[in-house]
Amino acid sequence: MNLALVMPDLGFGIVTASVLAMGAVGFSMLYGITGVINFAYGDEMTVAAYATYVVNVLLNVNVWISAAVITLGMGFFSVAMARGLVAPFKRRRAGTFALMIITFALGIVFQNLLQVIFGSSFQSFDVSQPRTVHFLGMIYTNQQLVIIAIGIVAMLALHFMLQFTRVGVAMRAMSDNVPLARACGINTPRMTDLTWFLAGLLAGAGGFVLALNTTAFGPSLGETFLLVIVSAAILGGVGRPYGAMVGAVIVGVVTAMSVLVLPAADKTAVALIILVLVLLIRPHGISASAGRT
Amino acid sequence: MPEPTDERELTKQVGRNGAATGHDDRAVALAVRDFSCGYQAVPVVDHVSLQVRHGQVVAVLGPNGAGKSTLLKGVMGLNRRMGGSVHLGEREVTRMAPESLVAAGISYVPQVDNVFPNLSVDENLRMGAFLNPASFRARRQEVVELLPALGEAARRKAGTLSGGQRNMLALGRALMLEPKVLLLDEPTAGLAPAIAAEVWRNIRRVAQTGAAILVVEQNVDFALQGSDHVYVLVSGKNRLDMPSAQAIGNDALGAAFMGR
Amino acid sequence: MSAALVFYLIAITVFFGCNALMVMGLNLQFGLAGVINLAYYVLVATGGYLVALSVVGPASAQGAGIVTYVGGWHLPWWIAWLIAGFGGAVIATMITLVVVRRLRSDYLAIGTLALGAVAYLLIGNTSSFLNGWTGLSGVAMPLHGIPGLTRMGHSEVFAALVLAFVVLGAWVSHRLTVSPFGRSLRAIRDNEGTAAACGKNVAQLRLKAMIIGGVFAALGGALFIQYIGSISPAMWAVPETIVMFAALIVGGKGNTWGALLGAALVPVGFLEATRFLPAIGSNPDILPALRWVAIGLLLMGFLYFRPQGILPERKTLLWSAPRRVPVGGGGSGALPIGEPPRGRAVAPVAGAATAGARARTDALLAVRHVSKAFGGVKAVQDASFEVRRGSITALIGPNGAGKSTMLGIIAGAVEPDGGSVVLDGTPLPSLAHRVAHRRVGRTFQIPQEFPTLTVLENMMVAPLGQVGEGVWTSMLAPRRWRRAQRGELDRAWELLELFDIDHLAHEYAANLSGGQKKLLEFARALQGEPALLLLDEPMAGVNPELASSLERHIVAIAERGITVLMVEHEMGIVGRICDPVVVMDRGRVLTEGSFDQIREDEDVVTAYLGGGLHA
């Protein structure tokens, strides 16, 4: 196979992986620590994209600053959403399935509210013209390189927090064994808030880079993307942030490379087929480590 | 740790928990009086009394369904407390929530799910010291001296440890806050005899630092060799109560187990 | 009536009818059988596409674009319906075999969601299969060629046809729901393991529910497409399934009327309620979007305030009344089971001796060289023992001896790695429902009741081979199964009276106390008329009074000729009523003998005191 044909797709796969990574890690962490399968996550990313658009285009702020501000804002939005809309159901001992339907419904509400406000036409950020960059035979735009950089920085920051801060280790402990964490004196409600906050940050950054990567976006931006995120998260072993990163890379690269053999339009379908196969063959994902207690 | 050779050494090794004035005069660290607890309406533990002194190892034995694990959980507030009282030293702690009991100085090591499998050994210990992070470094040193295997495996993920090592880690984790009272639920369950013997050696060494240890144990031999005093529970009630030395080879024990 | 109004009414009627069929189908899959199938709308689409392919002619250039698709058979409309229904059954079977069989609830939801999305994307992107995103059009309404009917006229006939379908569907759905078939589905929904122990073939019953639901969905889709005239992927995107679930949640799942109400309120009500709102602003997309927002909020509101729906699943009060004034304490005269009259204590020695004496020497059950390992741990190693006919045999041993695993293997719930279990000369299969059909009953250590069924219904799940458990008999022969049920109901009442819980007959089993659930577990195991009864720690967590009552019941059961094998820790009851006693330790059978022999056996004492250490 001609390398020159493969490399651009590989490059695109890496960009996709970077975009995926944030969503997959956020989704996975949320499930691992709070036990909630958040089907509104994709639409949260759409909300972030539109919010960034508002600040960028309508308020005329530089796009990168808009993104940073909105990312922070999404953190708080996420906590508010959890406290206001998820917690009441959890208090009523709603089962996992009920929570799935509820977050799904929430996602529908988000998506369609955006459509009511902005209409279904496509929007774009106000950003300078992209320049192409050649790197190792792969063709990138400078924006795509920024996306990859954002992805790497986010993952490194997360890694640092999870490994080297007391709070991060406590979150990983909760992900393993909640009663034991309580027995160590870890304040689980506060940790839950913090987890939602982080998930919100990741949704903010993830939504922004997703919108940036697709250039023109509409209200359904995050809808199908959610399932691709879930695919990466489950492939990596749901609840495992590092696994989700690996899953993102695999799904990103495989779907991008699939265009060599399949029609380009089927890329998303490839990701979903991966998801179904993983569920059937090895639902715990590729991580071989000890399971969640 | 070397055996204490004189009074001063003994005092030094006892640490900050309780006084060491001699064997029988040691203060009572944990007292359970007429205590009943269970899960639904029926008490599984029925008016049980026992006590553990500082530096003492007390074993709780009995046939299955006797309520031994339920007793530990009841003391720790993890099930319904239905009567009687629990005292930590002078202080009555019967109604306290588990988190407060941890802060007050009782540590509980459950039989299963007692470590964080995806965290390293060191991180597990760090979580044990969560409420007092400043003390982590120094305390870790002490715990590793007590249980050297933990120092060797410091970076390994807890989930990859063998059963015996895991139980040891669970013990180490529980020691990080220097508890006055340690509740151990079947620490040798599923372990080969050689490893179980090691676990009991460690229990003895921890007791020498002054902690009061209450151990639920299935293996009568180890329990009698390793403990100072033994209680036998049958059907949720006190049945036997004697120093371990007297219980060794005692027919009354077999009778209690076989329902005679 | 103006033509516009008539047209409007017809449209509403057709819309309601089609959605009613779809929601009823989902009720069968999810409400009754408890299967979470988020790809449900794919089944609806199957019906729509098949009817389109059946009715239109072969692919050809249509107007501006090239139209490509498979099929195009130009068949009469009623054959199209058969094809659509059949297609729904086939796709439902595929979904069941591929996904439903292997995945549990959360993963099942995600898996079916993904499958639905995959179907949507692949069909949309593949223009040669079903004409991609554009879809098929020109689907003629049935009865098209009938002379003398104006266009309006034959729409009215079509609407009537749709309603006829709804009536037929509701009839089928109702019949299925109230029959033993429906009861078996609900039992599976509540507790698969216990349902299997009662002889229900879980996989097969689930498949049947999925197929019937699939047929409903496909027919609903077929009729809808015949009315609208075209189908494209945009009509059956993933959120449409959520509308179906919303309809069920709002209307009330588990019953036909809730499904109908939900169909009327959600898809129809919402569409119509918003149709007459003036277009807001200049944006034509606002109204559909608002509709979705409303549905999302409605769903969340109901799940919070009224998760059981407007018409919740009604408590099934099986129509017979108790035979005595339920006091829950006194006894009546003739007890059919042969239990000694209450009040007279059964002398302990007499119990064991009579049971032992009555026991013939031939073995009813033979366990031969059975082994089972979980991960590296050998739970059972080369275990062999026999259970004599008519005896009360105890299986004892320290913690971790493998007793519960052994019981699970005998009951067919756990598949052994090696060895065999032979009942009455014939080997037992390793499938719980088939073992139950060999007249083996079992209880569980922690009572496993069917929580959303009443106590009486719990009992009625147990009889084996009931009339009305098959799909056709449940639909077409209600009188037959009702008549057959009478005998079983009588028996159920007898047993409930025997255990003094008949006053709870119409209570949901979930509301019983722990002790009452234990009694129900016993009664239910007996309802199946077992020859061999497996008891897993019957005295666990039971207060002394109830314990002695249970002990009396067990002796009475044995006196009736039922063989009992019980795992127990409590030595008292073992000593009083069990003979022989089989001792297990660390997965092996240590020894066997009378209780007195066992007690003195040094090896046994050591095993107990040594408590579960591995060599």
Domain ranges of chain B: 27-257
Same domain, C455 and C420: no
In the sheet where C426-427 sits, what is the strand order? C377-388, C363-374, C418-423, C426-427
Q: Which of B40, B196, B259 sits opposite C571 (nearest CB)?
A: B259
Place of tokens 């006797």: B66
State the smallest CA–CA distance between residue B12 and chain C in angstroms: 37
For C261-307, give the secondary structure using H, E and C. Answer: HHHHHHHHHHHHHHHCCCCCCCCCCHHHHHHHHHHHHHHHHHHHHCC
Q: What is the pTM of this model?
A: 0.85
Q: Which of A169, A182, A292 sits opposite B119 (nearest CB)?
A: A169
- Give the model's pLDDT for residue C607: 78
Closest CA to C441 of C270, C246, C197, C221: C197
Give which of A227, A228, A273, A274 to mutate to test C binding, by max C Cβ within 10 Å.
A227
Q: List helix spans (H) across chain B.
A: 7-14, 68-75, 98-104, 121-128, 136-146, 148-152, 163-175, 193-208, 220-226, 244-247, 251-257
State the smallest CA–CA distance between residue B11 and chain C in angstroms: 36
Q: Which of C105, C115, C285 sits opposite A97 (nearest CB)?
A: C105
What is the tens place of the pLDDT at every residue in A221-272? Answer: 998 899 999 999 999 988 888 889 999 999 999 988 888 888 777 888 889 9
Q: What is the CATH number of the domain that holds C593?
A: 3.40.50.300
B116–A176 C-beta distance less than 8 A: yes
CA C212 remoteness from chain centre: 14
Secondary structure class of B58 (helix, strand, coil): strand
B219–C571 C-beta distance less than 8 A: no
Contact list in A for residue C107 (CB cut-off 8 A) is 279, 283
Give which of A225, A276, A284 to mutate to test C binding, by max C Cβ within 10 Å.
A276
State the smallest CA–CA distance between residue B108 and chain A in angstroms: 8
User: Residue A231 falls within a domain, yes or no?
Assistant: no
Q: Supply the CATH classification number for the domain B27-257.
A: 3.40.50.300
Is any Cβ of chain A less than 8 angstroms from the Cβ of B101? no
Contact between residue C43 and residue C221 where contact means Cβ atoms under 8 Å apart: yes
The pair of three-digit structure tokens given for residue B201, joined into one six-digit string? 């050696």
A290–B160 C-beta distance less than 8 A: yes
The pair of three-digit structure tokens given for residue A120, joined into one six-digit string? 């279904």
Q: What is the ipTM of this complex?
A: 0.90
Contact list in A for residue C106 (CB cut-off 8 A) is 37, 96-97, 100
Q: Which of C515, C569, C599 sits opposite B64 (nearest CB)?
A: C569
What is the tally of structural domains in chain C?
3
C289–A272 C-beta distance less than 8 A: no
Inter-axis angle of helices C3-26 and C256-263, nearest 10: 140
How many Cβ atoms are within 10 Å of C66's Cβ, its own excluded?
A: 11
A186–B126 C-beta distance less than 8 A: no
Give which of C546, C578, C609 to mutate to test B binding, by max B Cβ within 10 Å.
C609
> What DSSP state is assigned to residue C527?
H
State the smallest CA–CA distance between residue C445 and chain B in angstroms: 12
Whole-angstrom CA distances from B137 to B125, B134, B205 are 10, 7, 21
Place of tokens 């304490």: C329
Place of tokens 């009272």: B181
A170–B130 C-beta distance less than 8 A: yes
Is any Cβ of chain C less than 8 angstroms from the Cβ of B134? no
The pair of three-digit structure tokens given for residue A66, joined into one six-digit string? 């808009």
User: Residue C571 falls within a domain, yes or no?
Assistant: yes
- Give the model's pLDDT for residue C247: 94
- Give the model's pLDDT for residue C138: 79
What is the tens place of the pLDDT at every residue in B144-172? Answer: 988 888 888 888 899 888 877 888 899 99
Q: Which residues of chain A have pLDDT under 50?
A: 288-293
User: Residue A122 falls within a domain, yes or no?
Assistant: yes
Contact list in B for residue C513 (CB cut-off 8 A) is 40-41
Domain boundary among C511, C537, C552: C511
A182–B116 C-beta distance less than 8 A: no
What is the tens place of the pLDDT at every residue in C135-185? Answer: 888 787 776 656 666 666 778 888 999 999 999 999 999 999 999 999 999
Same domain, C220 and C359: no
State the smallest CA–CA distance between residue C518 and chain B in angstroms: 14
Which residue in chain C is spatially nearest to A110 when comparing CA positions?
C293
- What lies within 8 Å, CB to CB, of A232 at 6+ separation is A20, A21, A23, A24, A244, A247, A248, A250, A251, A252, A271
More confident residue, A12 or B137: B137
The H or E element spanning position A30 is helix A3-34
User: Residue A288 falls within a domain, yes or no?
Assistant: no
- C457: containing domain: 451-511
Which residue in chain A is spatially nearest to C98 when comparing CA positions?
A280
Give which of B99, B126, B127 to mutate to test A binding, by max A Cβ within 10 Å.
B127
C543–B257 C-beta distance less than 8 A: no
CA distance A93 to B58: 40
The pair of three-digit structure tokens given for residue C206, joined into one six-digit string? 């689930």
Q: Which residues of chain C have pLDDT under 70?
A: 1, 59-68, 71-72, 143-152, 273-284, 319-361, 610-615
User: Residue C501 falls within a domain, yes or no?
Assistant: yes
Contact list in A for residue C239 (CB cut-off 8 A) is 108
Give which of A169, A186, A190, A238 to mutate to test B binding, by max B Cβ within 10 Å.
A169
B133–A176 C-beta distance less than 8 A: no
Give which of C285, C287, C295, C452 to mutate to test A binding, by max A Cβ within 10 Å.
C285
A290–B102 C-beta distance less than 8 A: no
User: Residue A8 falls within a domain, yes or no?
Assistant: no
What is the tally of structural domains in chain A?
1
Closest CA to B133 of B177, B181, B178, B180: B177
Contact list in C for residue B189 (CB cut-off 8 A) is 399-400, 612
Same domain, C378 and C432: yes
Closest CA to A42 of A252, A209, A275, A226: A226
Which residue in chain C is spatially nearest to A274 when comparing CA positions?
C114
CA distance C556 to C542: 19
- A220: containing domain: 23-225
Quick one: residue B72, left, alpha or beta (phi over 0 = left, psi -120 to 50 = alpha)?
alpha
Query: What are residue B47's phi and psi, to 5 degrees?
Result: 55, 55
State the smallest CA–CA distance between residue C350 and chain B in angstroms: 19
- Give the model's pLDDT for residue C151: 61
C614–B44 C-beta distance less than 8 A: no
State the smallest CA–CA distance between residue C457 and chain B in angstroms: 25
Contact list in A for residue B159 (CB cut-off 8 A) is 289-291
pLDDT(B62) > 60: yes
Contact between residue C224 and residue C48 where contact means Cβ atoms under 8 Å apart: yes
Place of tokens 């695993």: C405
Q: Which of C543, C609, C614 sits opposite B42 (nearest CB)?
A: C543
Is any Cβ of chain C less than 8 angstroms from the Cβ of B255? no
Burial grade of C426 (CB within 10 A; 0-12, 13-18, 19 or more): exposed
Contact between residue B159 and residue A177 where contact means Cβ atoms under 8 Å apart: no
State the smallest CA–CA distance between residue C370 and chain B in angstroms: 22
State the smallest CA–CA distance between residue C603 and chain A in angstroms: 36
Same domain, C195 and C167: yes
Same domain, C36 and C98: yes
Is any Cβ of chain C less than 8 angstroms from the Cβ of B260? yes
Same domain, C82 and C146: yes
The pair of three-digit structure tokens given for residue A101, joined into one six-digit string? 């339907």
Contact list in C for residue A263 (CB cut-off 8 A) is 125
A289–B116 C-beta distance less than 8 A: no
Chains that touch B (3 or more CB pairs under 8 A): A, C
Chains that touch A (3 or more CB pairs under 8 A): B, C
- Give the model's pLDDT for residue C78: 79
Q: Which of C118, C299, C303 sits opposite A276 (nearest CB)?
A: C118
State the smallest CA–CA distance between residue A188 and chain B in angstroms: 11
CA distance C59 to C274: 37
